[in-house]
């Protein structure tokens, strides 16, 4: 009997002790409560948890609390991308601010192979940081991608590789998670973050100017500003003798790449479109003609209009056509800058010759 | 006075919790990467140990011994420590969110930290009275703080040093901890 009593007493004593402590904790919780924002926890759930720091905050927790307190904007998460931004916007009850275009690492150097030869044989530590310290890099151009794979080793996603043949960094845009680790690692500052949906890419970043640069690399940007002048959309500005493209203004007409004398401005001309005017629907309102910044539409008021070879495929006319008779289609022939509508005063020498093939297309 | 000095010297140096008794090794290795967090951890342990010594003494003296339940010491002490750690966690979270972040999982781990339970048990087996119990708790915790701060300093230096790849991180830290324990061994025989 006494044994059972001892057990009961023991249990009672411990239970009472536990109850007392529990009550104490409850009281302490009441006084020491830290008000937490429930939105922060929700935001944290939405974030990918990579803790990469690309948003500029210490990890996903830091970013979530910064957004929750209204100190940070949504959509800074590079890894989560637009989907994550949309979810965060839903939690915070705001519109996604369109900062959703995924940025990917971009290599601003095309100096491989014969374009930019090594100026000496480098046999030191096989790392760009080490190589960059010796004699301003191993290549003829001191700003060139050295191709020793520092970015490749910095990338946690396997998205950037040094091309085995070209010996230059190549980014797998699908794998890139925009963490900017390669950008920070590159001693040559060749890498930068650019929108994944861009059409033209500045393929050089040397800040010097002059045709003499072509001796070092025939794809160098010589700072001639031809692209800036060619751009009809005010999207290019020369900064430190290198074009900087405002991709919010760029329509992807590739006129800058057409104008570039060295090929430093990269564009995939195979994917270029051209406008096509449906002759049956065209009423000759001349709106497209007025819109065209490249004089690539022929035909006066009340005439059927035709697109000439100078069309860059910017798509402006297709947007503006009130009859919706202009469509963008794959190019039948590469752009011919000279094949453009002439002012009426001059004898239209190429004009009679050109309409024939255009007519066939129609 | 003599007893006080013996406890102080004995708990801080000779029978140092981390380096001689090998209590509380988990946070000792886990939170010693940076001096700042190591000191924060040391202070948290000091707070918990001091209060735990006090409350454990009271619980032991006026509850367990009164009801002849000395065999429940361990479970009762764990209860005391768990509650104290919870309160410390709340306080730190309130006062210093940065430290709360830095200590991370190691803060609740003080609950199961054998150092805290060890000091409560030692107080009982050594037969200290209330004042000496609290003193022993504080002294032991200060010894622990001393060890973890010294160790954090060493690790900060080690992380900058040119260690071979296989020695980076925990292997180097383990060896450093072992050498530190050897050094602390030099205090033995002092009392």
Chains A and B form CB pairs within 8 A to the count of 44
CB A250 within 8 A of CB A234: no
- The residue length of chain A stands at 362
State how far the Cα of A93 lies from the Cα of A292, in Å rounded to an integer.
Answer: 41
Scanning every residue of chain B, which has its alpha carbon at the shortest distance from the alpha carbon of A24? B83
What is the token pair recorded at A200?
């033209």
Across chain A, what does the average pLDDT equal? 84
**Which residue from A242, A248, A237, A247 is spatially nearest to A265, judged by alpha carbons?**
A242
**Which residue from B173, B165, B184 is spatially nearest to B33, judged by alpha carbons?**
B173
What is the token pair recorded at A270?
């195979």
State how far the Cα of A223 lies from the Cα of A205, in Å rounded to an integer.
Answer: 10
What is the token pair recorded at A349?
């020498």
Scanning every residue of chain A, which has its alpha carbon at the shortest distance from the alpha carbon of B71? A10
Longest dimension (CA), chain B: 60
pLDDT tens sequence across A221-239: 999 999 999 998 899 999 8
Quick check: A346 pLDDT over 80?
A: no
CB B180 within 8 A of CB B151: yes
Quick check: A60 pLDDT over 50?
A: yes
Q: Which residues of A touch B83 (CB under 8 A)?
A: 21-22, 24-25
- Select from A10, A14, A34 the Cβ nearest to the Cβ of B93: A34
Confidence of residue A19 (pLDDT cuts 50, 70, 90): very high
Helix A2-32 with B73-95: angle, nearest 10 deg = 0
**pLDDT for A354:** 45
Comparing A24-38, A89-103, A264-278, the range with the smallest average pLDDT is A89-103
Quick check: A352 pLDDT over 70?
A: no
State how far the Cα of B21 lies from the Cα of B23, in Å rounded to an integer.
Answer: 6
Q: How many CB atoms lie within 10 A of CB A355?
A: 16
Q: Which of B47, B87, B99, B100 to mutate to test the interface with A (most CBs of A within 10 A)?
A: B87
Q: Position of tokens 């915070």?
A: A92
Looking at per-residue confidence, does B105 or B131 come out higher? B131
Please report which helix (H) or strand (E) contains residue A84, including its range.
Answer: helix A81-92
Q: How far is A31 from chain B (nearest CA, A)?
A: 10
Quick check: A323 pLDDT over 60?
A: yes
Please report which helix (H) or strand (E) contains residue A103, including its range.
Answer: strand A103-107
State how far the Cα of B180 lies from the Cα of A67, in Å rounded to an integer.
Answer: 45
Quick check: A99 pLDDT over 60?
A: no
State how far the Cα of A27 lies from the Cα of A198, in Å rounded to an integer.
Answer: 59
B→A interface, C-beta within 8 Å = 59, 63-64, 67-69, 72, 75-76, 79-80, 83, 86-87, 90-91, 93-94, 97, 101
**pLDDT for A160:** 92
Interface contact B90-A17, CB threshold 8 A: no
| pTM to 2 decimal places | 0.52
Q: How far is A26 from chain B (nearest CA, A)?
A: 10
Scanning every residue of chain B, which has its alpha carbon at the shortest distance from the alpha carbon of A62? B101
Interface contact B72-A10, CB threshold 8 A: yes
CB A256 within 8 A of CB A237: no
Backbone angles phi, psi at A185, to 5 degrees: -80, -30
Q: Position of tokens 């979270």?
A: B93
Scanning every residue of chain A, which has its alpha carbon at the shortest distance from the alpha carbon of B97? A34
**Which residue from A14, A28, A11 is spatially nearest to B59, judged by alpha carbons?**
A14
CB A79 within 8 A of CB A193: no
Degrees (nearest 5) of the Cα angle A224, A227, A232?
Answer: 140
**pLDDT for B130:** 92
State how far the Cα of A178 lies from the Cα of A53, in Å rounded to an integer.
Answer: 10
Q: How far is B85 from chain A (nearest CA, A)?
A: 10
Interface contact A14-B75, CB threshold 8 A: yes
Q: What percent of chain A has pLDDT over 90?
A: 18
Interface contact B93-A29, CB threshold 8 A: no
Interface contact A18-B79, CB threshold 8 A: yes
Q: Decide: helix, strand or coil at residue A303.
A: coil
Q: Decide: helix, strand or coil at residue A63.
A: helix
pLDDT tens sequence across A274-320: 888 888 888 888 888 888 888 888 887 888 888 888 888 888 888 88
pLDDT tens sequence across A9-18: 888 988 998 9
Residues A220, A224, A226, A229: is their CA dihedral positive or negative? positive
State how far the Cα of A139 lies from the Cα of A142, in Å rounded to an integer.
Answer: 6
Q: Which ipTM was obtained for this model?
A: 0.72
- Select from B67, B79, B87 the Cβ nearest to the Cβ of A28: B87
Q: How many CB atoms lie within 10 A of CB A123?
A: 7
Q: Decide: helix, strand or coil at residue A327.
A: strand
- Select from A18, A22, A32 the Cβ nearest to the Cβ of B91: A32
Interface contact B83-A24, CB threshold 8 A: yes
A→B interface, C-beta within 8 Å = 6, 9-10, 13-14, 17-18, 21-22, 24-25, 28-29, 32-34, 61
B127 in the Ramachandran plot: left (φ > 0), alpha (ψ -120 to 50) or beta? Answer: left
CB B173 within 8 A of CB B41: no
Cβ neighbours for B149, distance < 8 A, ≥ 6 positions apart: B35, B38, B39, B42
Quick check: B149 pLDDT over 90?
A: yes
What is the token pair recorded at A334?
């590469």
**pLDDT for A351:** 47
Interface contact A34-B79, CB threshold 8 A: no
State how far the Cα of A1 lies from the Cα of A5, in Å rounded to an integer.
Answer: 6
DSSP letters for A175-230: T-----HHHHH-TT--EEEEETT-SEEE-------SGGGGGT-TT------HHHHH
């Amino acid at each position: 009997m006494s044994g059972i009593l001892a057990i009961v007493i023991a249990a009672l004593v411990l239970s009472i002790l536990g109850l007392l402590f529990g009550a104490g904790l409850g009281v302490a919780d009441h006084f020491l409560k830290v008000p937490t924002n429930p939105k922060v926890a929700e935001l944290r759930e939405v974030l990918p948890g990579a803790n990469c720091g690309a948003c500029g905050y210490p990890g996903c927790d830091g970013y979530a609390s910064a957004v929750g307190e209204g100190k940070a904007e949504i959509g800074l998460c590079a890894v989560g991308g637009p989907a994550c931004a949309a979810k965060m916007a839903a939690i915070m009850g705001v519109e996604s601010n369109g900062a959703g275009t995924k940025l990917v690492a971009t290599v601003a150097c095309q100096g491989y192979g014969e374009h930019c030869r090594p100026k000496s044989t480098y046999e030191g530590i096989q790392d760009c940081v080490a190589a960059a310290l010796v004699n301003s890099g191993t290549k003829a151009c001191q700003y060139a991608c050295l191709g020793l794979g520092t970015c490749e080793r910095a990338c946690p996603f396997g998205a950037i590789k040094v091309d085995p043949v070209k010996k230059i960094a190549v980014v797998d845009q699908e794998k890139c998670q925009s963490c900017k680790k390669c950008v920070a690692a590159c001693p040559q500052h060749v890498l930068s973050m650019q929108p994944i949906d861009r059409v033209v890419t500045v393929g050089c970043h040397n800040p010097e100017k002059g045709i003499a640069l072509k001796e070092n690399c025939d794809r160098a940007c010589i700072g001639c500003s031809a692209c800036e002048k060619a751009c009809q959309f005010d999207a290019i500005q020369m900064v430190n003798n290198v074009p900087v493209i405002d991709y919010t203004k760029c329509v992807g007409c590739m006129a800058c790449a057409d104008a570039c004398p060295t090929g430093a401005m990269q564009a995939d001309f195979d994917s270029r479109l051209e406008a096509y005017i449906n002759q049956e629907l065209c009423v000759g309102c001349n709106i497209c003609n007025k819109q065209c910044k490249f004089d690539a539409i022929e035909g006066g008021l009340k005439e059927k209009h035709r697109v000439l070879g100078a069309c860059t495929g910017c798509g402006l006319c297709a947007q503006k056509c009130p009859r919706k008779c202009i469509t963008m289609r794959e190019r039948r022939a590469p752009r011919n800058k000279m094949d453009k509508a002439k002012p009426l005063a001059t004898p239209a020498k190429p004009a009679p010759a050109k309409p024939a093939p255009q007519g066939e297309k129609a | 006075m003599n007893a006080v000095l013996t406890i102080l010297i004995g708990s801080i140096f000779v029978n140092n919790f981390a380096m001689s008794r090998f209590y509380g090794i988990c946070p000792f290795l886990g939170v010693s990467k940076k001096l700042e967090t190591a000191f924060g951890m040391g202070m948290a342990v000091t707070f918990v140990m001091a209060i735990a010594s006090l409350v454990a003494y009271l619980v032991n003296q006026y509850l367990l011994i009164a009801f002849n339940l000395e065999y429940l010491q361990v479970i009762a002490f764990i209860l005391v420590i768990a509650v104290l750690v919870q309160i410390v966690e709340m306080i730190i979270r309130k006062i210093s969110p940065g430290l709360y972040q830095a200590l991370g999982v190691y803060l609740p781990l003080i609950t199961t930290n054998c150092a805290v339970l060890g000091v409560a048990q030692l107080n009982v087996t050594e037969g200290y009275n209330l004042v000496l119990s609290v003193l022993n708790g504080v002294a032991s915790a200060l010894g622990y703080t001393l060890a973890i701060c010294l160790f954090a300093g060493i690790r900060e230096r080690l992380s900058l040093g040119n260690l071979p790849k296989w020695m980076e991180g925990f292997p180097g830290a383990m060896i450093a901890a072992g050498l530190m324990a050897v050094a602390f061994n030099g205090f033995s025989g002092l009392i």
